[in-house]
Structure 1
């Protein structure tokens, strides 16, 4: 995941120490944008990495930024490339993402996290700051955006996007983890109340507008979606976020289905990887490591009716094309009654 967790007075606090270098158009922060030089390491299970796979696809960066997909489970040591033949990433030539972290000269210590971008010329991770990575995809990689790519971080709306995204991060994205890893009842209940208060706020906000900020999909929507898509499958039960299922919150459920059915969103979701990660890796919460069969994901394909609120998913842009070969995820079509 993005950042390691610690416990402060029995409550969960995320370690937010990230590698300070960035990949920018002019290289001012350490590394210049170059086609083919870097490889994005992700896991389909991780919500923080999921953001990068969505933005990469929406902007059409697949041809210039390759992607390494780690398996859904890992040990305390590292994410591993066990999905690849021989358990070795074919481009980086490593079995563990830890190898790319340890190749750094500074001996980076906070932990092996995804997403991470590796410089293939040195084999070193150059950035793992998940929040900055997607913003840089939108603002620094513009020379390589596909034709008719959407503007996910429009300059006129950035202040509002940042404000909404921060609320979502604190109360929802990280809030579910505060519930799941709370060390005592009081901490859990405080996190639980904070989470559902924010979800109620989002229900109200999205009742009259199709997207979180403005008339199109923005960075804020992507950041909320990756938590919502995991909510019923994982957070409701595994993390004890059980006041309501997503499917019992009518506005958020319709909003999430609207995004899921938009190219670039549902076609990056792998529910089996998501469930395998949380239920098999978090043995402190789920000691048996049994992975539940449900819930039935076919509801994600049902009509949502959000078009009536107006708005255009990609603004003046257009949807992305087909998923790149080798990057497909299991389809839900067979589950559609």
Structure 2
């Protein structure tokens, strides 16, 4: 991971200078897409979407015309990594999200936990009117505490279970995952959001895993004690977020399922992609507004509707 907080001066807030490269399939990258949209930073930081399928050079821009990112001029994200460090640039792999300096074409950071915090704090001068405060000072300790448990047992926990190579490791991850989900379900019985009365970093970090749970993790990663849709508060909470502008309109179930089922061939060697579950369930009533609170804070407003799809409409290899 290349850690370069914007406060360090390596990528000072400067509209038009950077490109966020992300995958709609990746939960870690999905966080940054949500925050960029909630903050209204579309005109300040451009967005490049990679193909959900990878080859031996990892993330590629094959959905764009000619297979070339129209801003960076790259075929592969690894080119930004190598522009930063031609010798060891891809030694630790090529990951998303990635912030790329457009003038130089160099990777600035792929530090996914701090990218979202920086977009919410360091770029405040360029945020839209009515943008929520996602990491308020008075709630920071509680957000960090909740997010830490979510990271270890849920965000990363599904991967620990899915890629376990022994029964003992799998059972350990499985047990921790569902213990944490049970605790979150209990926490959300009488509160609309994880911390405070509006959306924070904690909710964004949990949502991207929940959005993939029934479509991928339940079957593909053997996280199958129960589906998300079989939880009480947690499923209603997830639907509440999904129906909030900035969340559901950034979810792409097609990219999600194709990536996991077609790329991770050690788990799914046939590369057969399931047709379900039916995404219309995400639009059913949740009644979470009865708990009070407001998604964007007392003075906040929703982001404007998306003018079109987030992703290029080029072909996806089968």
Q: TM-score range by the shorter chain?
A: over 0.9
Deviations 1:254-295 (A, max 9, x none): 000000000000000000000000000000000001101111
Match of 1:291 in 2: 273
Q: 1:323 & 1:23 partners in 2: Cα distance?
A: 27
User: How far 1:30 sits from its partner (Å)?
Assistant: 1.7
Q: 8 Å contact 2:49–2:311 — kept in the other structure?
A: no
User: How far 1:79 sits from its partner (Å)?
Assistant: 0.2
Match of 1:12 in 2: none
Match among 92, 115, 123 for residue 110 of structure 1: 92
Match of 1:63 in 2: 43
Distance 1:65 1:96, change over 3 A: same
Q: 1:329 & 1:259 partners in 2: Cα distance?
A: 25
3-state DSSP class of the match of 2:108? strand
Deviations 1:31-77 (A, max 9, x none): 21100000000010000000000000000000110000001111242
Q: 2:310 & 2:163 partners in 1: Cα distance?
A: 32
Deviations 1:164-211 (A, max 9, x none): 001100000000000000010000000000000000000000001000
3-state DSSP class of the match of 1:289? coil
Q: 8 Å contact 1:267–1:328 — kept in the other structure?
A: no
Q: 8 Å contact 2:213–2:228 — kept in the other structure?
A: yes
Q: 1:327 & 1:279 partners in 2: Cα distance?
A: 22
Q: 2:137 & 2:13 partners in 1: Cα distance?
A: 21
Match among 275, 295, 301 for residue 318 of structure 1: 301
Q: 1:98 & 1:328 partners in 2: Cα distance?
A: 20
Instruction: Say what the alpha-carbon RMSD is for the aligned residues.
Output: 1.3
1:267-286 correspondence runs (5 A): 267-286=249-268
Match among 176, 185, 197 for residue 215 of structure 1: 197
Match of 1:13 in 2: none
1:150 corresponds to 2:142: no
Match of 1:31 in 2: 11
Distance 1:329 1:51, change over 3 A: farther
3-state DSSP class of the match of 1:68? strand
Structure 2, unaligned stretches of length 5 or more?
314-318
Structure 1, unaligned stretches of length 5 or more?
1-17, 331-337
User: How far 1:20 sits from its partner (Å)?
Assistant: 2.5
User: How far 1:325 sits from its partner (Å)?
Assistant: 4.2
TM-score by length of 1: 0.90
1:204 corresponds to 2:186: yes
3-state DSSP class of the match of 2:220? coil
Q: 8 Å contact 1:270–1:329 — kept in the other structure?
A: no
Match of 2:22 in 1: 42
> Taking CA–CA contacts closer than 8 Å with sequence separation of 6 or more, which of the two structures ends up with the larger relative contact order?
2
Q: 8 Å contact 1:42–1:115 — kept in the other structure?
A: yes
User: How far 1:227 sits from its partner (Å)?
Assistant: 0.1
Q: 1:72 & 1:250 partners in 2: Cα distance?
A: 31
Q: 1:321 & 1:242 partners in 2: Cα distance?
A: 37
Match of 1:51 in 2: 31
1:130-141 correspondence runs (5 A): 130-141=112-123
User: How far 1:324 sits from its partner (Å)?
Assistant: 4.3
After the TM superposition, which segments of 4 or more aligned residues of structure 1 sit over 6 Å from their partners? none
Count of residues in Structure 1 that have an aligned counterpart in Structure 2: 310
Q: 1:41 & 1:120 partners in 2: Cα distance?
A: 11
Q: 8 Å contact 1:61–1:146 — kept in the other structure?
A: yes
1:299-318 correspondence runs (5 A): 299-315=281-297, 316-318=299-301
Q: 8 Å contact 1:22–1:126 — kept in the other structure?
A: no
TM-score by length of 2: 0.95
Q: Which moved more, 1:200-209 or 1:106-115?
A: 106-115
